[in-house]
Amino acid sequence: MVRLGLCCTFLSEPIKFRTTTVRYSSTLTPEDRRGLLNSLARHNVAALRCAIAWCAANGVGAFRVQSGLLPLYTHPTAGWKLGGAIGAGIADGLRAAGADARRLGVRLSFHPDQFVVPGSVNPSTVKASLAELEYMGEVAALVGGEQITIHGGGAHGGKQVSLDRLAQGLGRLSPRARDRVVLENDDRLYTVEDLLPVCERLSIPLVYDVHHHRCNPDRLDVERATELAAETWGGREPWVHLSSPAQGWRSGDPRPHADYIDTADVPRSWLDRTLTIDVEAKAKELAVVELQTWVTARDRTRSRRAAAAVERHGPRRR
């Protein structure tokens, strides 16, 4: 059974997440600034609950929580804490969202922005990256988020040296954040083969992105990469990522994502596995619903064919 996941935002549904800028918030009085950030956070938590409800109502089994759920939370000068005045009532709202997700069977995940590179050679980048991961770990603990996906980062000094720096950076995290970190192969540098050894050494699951693998291949085929990545999840339902190239595979740069998923890009073996597939498509929920319709129709066709075969030939003997 596959579970499809929606990533972060909606295209046509009236479920919106709000944010602000440091420039604007700095023009406000301290009281008005506190009120603004609290109001934005409350709005976003309510939007998260609406997103979870929408996913459950539409047969979508996972939702990726956007990094900016709590605006300016980790900013070095304008940041704030859930335990302070700005955070009044926010933690309770996050717990309620988590209860919704558990009751409705919607898995939650996080995927920080590209600037999160805990293996960077720049100490300030590492510091900011760890702060962002700690923030996501804090929110994930409240909502029941299962994982925080990051890439291997840069390769200054070589891939192995960079992955060693990554391991050192992750070792500085609290258990709350560290235990949720997972790695993902990317479309430029780190392949599945590159990341599997560090995942095994650090007991970190690998999120297999098949689009990235096709853009940045290694010696593994899709089937073997899927199998090896699934083994790193230790019996838990693995996460994978799926997208299609906006310009097709034979023209232009295949890395940018298309609006919808071309069903030819769906590994057929995935449909016989228990997986959560995050659909990374620009049409957001429209793309997920379209793919869900295709998966459901395919399952029904296979079930009808199997039933017809049993009717014609009787049950298969072992």
The C-alpha angle 34, 113, 145, rounded to 5 degrees, equals 75
- Name the percent of the chain lying above pLDDT 90: 92
> How far apart (Å, rounded) are the C-alpha atoms in residues 121 and 169?
10
Q: What sign does the CA torsion over 17, 23, 28, 31 have?
A: positive
Range 177-206 average pLDDT:
97
Q: What's the pLDDT score for residue 312?
A: 62
Identify whether the C-beta of residue 62 lies closer than 8 Å to the C-beta of residue 3.
yes
Q: What's the pLDDT score for residue 298?
A: 87
Identify whether the C-beta of residue 208 lies closer than 8 Å to the C-beta of residue 238.
yes
Query: What pTM was computed for the model?
Result: 0.93
Range 266-295 average pLDDT:
97
Q: What's the pLDDT score for residue 209?
A: 98
User: 1-106 domain in CATH 3.20.20.150?
Assistant: yes
> How far apart (Å, rounded) are the C-alpha atoms in residues 266 and 264?
6
- The domains of the chain are located at 1-106
The pLDDT tens digits of the residues spanning 137-179 come to 999 999 999 999 999 999 999 999 999 999 999 999 999 999 9
Q: What's the pLDDT score for residue 299?
A: 78
> How far apart (Å, rounded) are the C-alpha atoms in residues 91 and 182?
24
Identify whether the C-beta of residue 302 lies closer than 8 Å to the C-beta of residue 276.
no
